[in-house]
Structure 1
Amino acid sequence: MTAPIADQSAEQLPRPTRLSDVKGWFFTADQLLFDWFLAHQQDRSEPGDLLELGAYMGKSAIFLGARLRADERFTVCDLFDSPAEDASNSKEMKKSYATLTRRAFEANYLAFHEELPTIIQGLSSIVSDHVDAGSVRFAHIDASHLYEHVHGDILAVRELLTDNGVVVLDDYRAEHCPGVAAATWQAVANEELRPICITGTKFYGTWGDPEPLQKALVDWIKARGDIWHEVQYVNDAPLIRLSAKGAKEPAQPVSRHKPAAVRAPQRPAAQAPAASAARPAARPPIPTRSTVRRVALDVLPPIVTRALVKARKRSRNR
């Protein structure tokens, strides 16, 4: 099921104003690598489209969409809020993606882009029915965490990638999804997937020649100076491991919606000027004895008042 046009109801959902406002896990190291691989392919004029299997709330899709060239197609495949066809997949959906809806994804994506990508709402196993073989230069697999599904996604993407296309596998080492790790390294051992590099969360590989990419990547890392890396060997083949803690993020997609206006600080209501320290405020006058008597005569009971008047007269006659 494809849908290039958003449901109008998506327009009514709250819009993020920054990529960090979108829920999801897309760390600096992977933002830098996505940006580098896509830019490197563009610099070499490598043709091909973009593909993402598993979108969650759209964080990485928004990032990818900002790197899309005018003549390219970006396809996103996800179940969203559709029911899964098997019990295991349904259980995982309820546990990890209970809040995921297509409307939420579309609202987030349209906060940064004028048009939606091509959306396939369904199992990732049907992606080959909608994307041509050999047409994709960059694919991000982040759908199911179950071994059988990830294994199928890898095999499908292998047919969809161009000769030098790059595939990225999320959660290849996370303890809560060992099926992804099993499928990833099985593809390396048995399906001729060749590693390029790894971060703490994602595996980057190709079915083409990884050596030119690795050389260019190391040169770029050294030129930046803020990314740690080392080269290890797996089955006699080099593998770059890197970390970008403290590294500057690449340029972020810009929201089409301005953030809420910041109110100017309100000036406090006018107040009477404070008394000068040099001239203390005048103290109220101390009441005299006559004033006290006058007040007493006005407020005391009549019997007391008459006694006071007689006492005053006697004092005057002395």
Structure 2
Amino acid sequence: MSAVKAEITPKSLDRIPGWFWGTDQRLFEWILSGQATENSPGDLLELGTYLGKSAVMIGAHARPGEVFTVCDLFESEAPEAANDAETSRSYSALTRDRFEENYLTFHDALPRIVHGPTSIVLDHVAAESCRFVHVDASHLYVHVRQDVMSARKVLRPDGIVVFDDYRSVHTPGVAMAVWEAVSNLGLAPICVSTQKLYATWGDAAPVRERLLRWLESREDLWHTTDAFDGWELVRVNQIKKPAPPAGDAATLRKLGDDLQRTTAELRKAMAESRAATQALKKATAEISLAGPVVRRAVRWTRRVTRRGRA
């Protein structure tokens, strides 16, 4: 286990390019933290790591005695044309040096790195040794199906596997391989986000129940449960904050200036209103004091007038 030398937050992870969204960051944190407190030690594995965004978080949860392994082609050529074309098109910026640099920004030591296709991972990771596996490598059906079988081999009975891109329009091979595993290989779904499917070859019900209790306490995550033939699935998504008003920076600055000017004018008008109110109260008080004098003067004038007539 390597020590974490920099705080891992959504903001700090944003500095690493990649597709590891807020909902999945929260779900990874909940699963990995829960396993660390409730389960016996077990290793961690990531198939396909890109530039290390999710690996940084996974590695932070490796306990003493546990091994975290990442397997990726990095800049190497894929063993076949179709896979090589996919890698060149989508991951041209990927190099092992960039992954290591990003990872070492947060950790004082690298994970165990298997530099090559995921088909060789079983030569490096023992059967039933892992408590957590993240699959985010090739999108081609033949390779994803092999990754499914590898995950099944290395996971402990209570281990959790996460599949990326299980529903994207450009990754039908992932969807076919994953749902095939659900139908034919006993893979039990726990939950899905917009990007990833979380599942186990063990008993999904207790994990799902704990997840629902946790989600009830979250104000930043939305969730619902769907029932299927013999099993249930929790859908989870992030509740997004309202977007700021549309407009460029100059427009927003002008709106701010106008608001400050209007506020100043309103304060001035209120001050003038208060001063006028005080003046009116003073005049009313003076009139009240003068009233008896005026009435006496009126009575005296009337008496003088009557005498003059007499």
Name the TM-score, length of structure 1 as normaliser: 0.71
What are the Cα deviations for residues 12-61 of structure 1, in whole angstroms up to 9, with x where unaligned? xxxxx922110001111101110111111112133211100001010000
Match of 1:183 in 2: 177
Cα distance, 1:224 vs structure 2? 2.1
Find out whether 1:38 has 2:21 as its counterpart. no
Q: Output the CA distance in 1 between the equivalents of 2:116 and 2:125.
A: 14
Gapped regions of structure 1 (runs ≥ 5): 1-16, 248-318
What letter matches 1:209 in structure 2? D
1-structure distance, mates of 2:199, 2:46: 15
Aligned residue number for residue 154 of structure 1: 148
What is residue 81 of structure 1 aligned with on the other side? 75
Are 1:241 and 2:235 counterparts?
yes
Instruction: State how 1:20-99 maps to structure 2 within 5 Å.
Output: 20-99=14-93
Between stretches 235-244 and 166-175, larger displacement belongs to 235-244
SS at the partner of 1:18? Answer: helix
Whole-Å separation in 2 of the counterparts to 1:235 and 1:79: 39
Q: CA-to-partner distance for each residue in 1:46-101, whole Å, 9 max, x for gaps? A: 32111000010100001111121122110000000111111100110111011111
1:140 counterpart SS class: strand
Cα distance in structure 2, aligned partners of 1:204 and 1:45: 18
Equivalent in 141, 158, 163 of residue 164 of structure 1? 158
C-alpha separation between the residues in 2 aligned to 1:232 and 1:34?
A: 21
What is the root-mean-square deviation in Å for CA atoms of aligned residues?
1.2
DSSP 3-state at the match of 1:224: coil
2:186 alignment partner AA: E
Which of structures 1 and 2 has the larger relative contact order (alpha carbons within 8 angstroms, sep 6+)? 1
What does residue 130 of structure 1 align with? Answer: 124
Give the TM-score taking structure 2 as reference length. 0.73
Retained in 1: the 8 A contact 2:45–2:130?
yes
Cα drift, residue 142 of structure 1:
0.1
Which residue, 187, 192, 205 being the options, matches 2:186?
192
Q: Alignment partner of 1:21: what SS?
A: coil
Residue 212 (structure 1) aligns with:
206
Q: Which of the two has greater helix per residue? A: 2
- 1:177-235 deviation per Cα after TM superposition (whole angstroms, max 9, x unaligned): 11000001000001110000000000000000000000000000002233211110233
Q: What CA distance in whole angstroms lies between the structure 1 residues aligned with 2:30 and 2:153?
A: 23
Which 5+ residue runs of structure 2 have no aligned equivalent?
A: 1-10, 242-310
- Mean Cα displacement is larger for which, 18-27 or 230-239? 230-239
**Which residue of structure 1 lines up, in the alignment, with residue 99 of structure 2?**
105
Match of 2:111 among 100, 114, 117: 117
Q: Which amino acid aligns with 1:94?
A: S
Instruction: Tell me how far apart the structure 2 counterparts of residues 149 and 26 of structure 1 sit (CA, whole Å).
Output: 21
